[in-house]
Amino acid sequence: MTTKSSGFSLIELLVVVAILGVLSAIGISSYSGYIASSEKKAAENIMQQISLGQTEYYSGNGSYYSASSGNCSPTTITSTAIETNLLGGADAISADLNYEMCIQSHASNYMVKAKKGTCEITMTAHGTFTRTNC
């Protein structure tokens, strides 16, 4: 006489756990890519706000605002200076963004630079973006 069990075997449970592991690994990597791309887009939006602030600053002062005289290096200090001088003191370049920004001005032109780790985004006064290591 044979009896029939109504449960799952160990092999069936291991297969289900393996499938769930693969699906979660794919989901986590996809989510990480989504977060990185949304941070880049947010940084580019703030850079465009900075460009509008530069236009207003130029109207009032006859020159563009610059946080550095030579090549700019984005830091918390330069980001705070940009917020104070161009964005009316708003906390637009927040710690949640994970990017630091600076402005390099020369003659009648400027360039906005944002950096996070090795990723560097630059925007010219004409609104052209260049991404390096992003």
Q: Is residue 5 part of a domain?
A: no
Q: Is residue 4 part of a domain?
A: no
The predicted-structure confidence for 25-80, as pLDDT tens digits, reads as follows: 999 988 988 988 899 999 999 999 999 999 999 999 888 888 766 678 888 888 88
124 contact partners, CB below 8 Å, separation of at least 6? 109, 111
Tokens at residue 120, please? 């560097």
In this predicted structure, the answer to whether residue 3 has a pLDDT above a threshold of 70 is no
Q: What is the pLDDT of residue 19?
A: 96
pTM of the model: 0.76
Q: Where are the alpha helices (DSSP H) in the chain?
A: 10-61, 76-86
- Residue type for 38, please? S
Q: How many structural domains is the chain composed of?
A: 1
Rounded to whole angstroms, the Cα distance separating 133 from 117 reads: 9
Of 107, 93, 111, 129, which is closest to residue 51 (Cα–Cα)?
Answer: 111
Place of tokens 């236009």: 55
Rounded to whole angstroms, the Cα distance separating 119 from 45 reads: 16
Tokens at residue 75, please? 């830091």
Range(s) of the domain holding residue 32: 10-132
Q: Is residue 2 part of a domain?
A: no
Q: For the chain, what is the mean pLDDT?
A: 88
Decide: helix, strand or coil at residue 47: helix
